[in-house]
Amino acid sequence: MQTITAIQLKSQLDADEVHLLDVRTADELELVSIAGALHIPLHELPARHGELPRDKPLAVLCHHGVRSETAARFLDKAGFTDPLSVAGGIEAYALDVDPTLPRY
């Protein structure tokens, strides 16, 4: 499991090098999201990780980076290649990449 910054995530998304997995709750997702992200709340990940694509690394996003790190560690143990945790989560993405995104 590796950690990447929000700026690195943006670069990798633009280059189509990763899939983005958002592990926040549905309520959080309604507040703000990144287009194209897959959504599986962290508490559902153990039962649903088989739904995730394996053709590229997964970058995992939450609100501040704690849940995404937990999810990336789980995915690593589940056999996913090089899962990435986005440091600072969607909060960092809003601050460093897209200031038009709502913050909460």
- Catalytic residue list: 62
- Decide if 97 contacts 6 (C-beta within 8 A): yes
Exposure on the CB side of residue 58, measured as CA atoms within 13 A: 29
CA gap 82, 8 in Å, rounded: 15
Cα dihedral sign, 42-37-57-94: negative
Q: What is the DSSP letter of 43?
A: G
Q: What is the DSSP letter of 49?
A: G
